[in-house]
Amino acid sequence: MSDNKYTLAPTEPPPAYEDASQKSPPPPTGTSPKPPTLRAPLPLSLPSLNALRNQRVILASASPRRKTLLAQLGLPNVTISPCPLPENLPKTLSPFEYVLQTALQKCMNVYKTEINNTSAGEPALVLAADTIVVSHSGDILEKPRSEKEHIGMLKTLRDEGDHRVFTAVAVMAPLESARDPGYALETVVEETIVRFDSAVTDDLILAYVKTREGADKAGGYGIQGIGAILVERIEGAFDNVVGLPLRATLKLIEKVTAPEEDIEEAFAEEEEE
């Protein structure tokens, strides 16, 4: 076993909720040599992704997790342009419609702004996504607004059994032709069922809340991080719970960046149905 030096856990209180999404400073450098760095995998070599790598791709989201997932897909140099509109659609909508309309609103707002950006030029692609957690009783859970709400949210998810995570993705790309409305638009909604471990204690929930990892996440937990200790199992795509289902997203990108004659044919088939 190596003789790495460890620093004591901080004794100060956790950061406020509005500061939860800020990155923490790097830990002090230890005296032991660093392990060798593993080589990152080469990017996917697919026509749709290769064509976008040297073009302007916009992510209409401030989520660092979605930016990381897009980089894993092979688009590391996306421009971050969050939608400024509030996410205040009525919760009376079905979860499917709520998450889909929110993602569409984000995508179309940023697209309309950026398509007229004369300094940077029009984007080749705009992508937006929205994730919600729906409790077993049907309540739409987004980001917790306080520590008290955060604790109650996680207790509810533990006590009610299965809950569902919906992520909607909307992708837009401008068309060179004059076909109305001048862009290609594709959307998808993915669903994953998550079950918390019923043996999770109130003390564990409180300890997790104090980490503030889940403060900026729908449902109040991050399955890709410490929040995995709360989860017993999932049914569906893991990355959908993280915030961007890559398989479905790649299919959307391929559709909107296809040759325009293919898009025209698909559009005509939809009109006939």
Please list the rounded mean pLDDT of every run of 10 residues in the chain (273 residues): 44 64 62 68 87 93 92 91 90 94 96 88 94 94 94 97 96 85 94 97 98 94 96 97 96 92 61 59
Active-site entry in 3, 19, 130, 262: 130
How many angstroms separate the CA atoms of 273 and 149, rounded? Answer: 46
Stretch (H or E) spanning 218: none
Determine the pLDDT at residue 101: 97
Single pTM value for the model: 0.80
Query: Residue 269: what pLDDT?
Result: 59
Q: Residue 104: which residues within 8 A CB-CB, separation 6 or more?
A: 128, 168, 170, 187
pLDDT at residue 27 in the model: 64
User: Which tokens in the block code for residue 248?
Assistant: 């479905």
* CA atoms of 244 and 190, how far apart (whole Å): 9
Q: At what angle do helices 64-73 and 246-256 cross, to 10 degrees?
A: 70
Burial class (CB in 10 A: 0-12, 13-18, 19+), 190: buried
Residue 136: predicted pLDDT: 95
> What is the per-residue pLDDT for 4?
44
What does DSSP say about strands 57-59 and 231-235: parallel, antiparallel, or unpaired? Answer: unpaired
What pLDDT score was predicted for residue 19? 61
Report the chain's terminal Cα–Cα distance, integer Å: 66
CA atoms of 128 and 242, how far apart (whole Å): 14
Known catalytic residue at 180: no
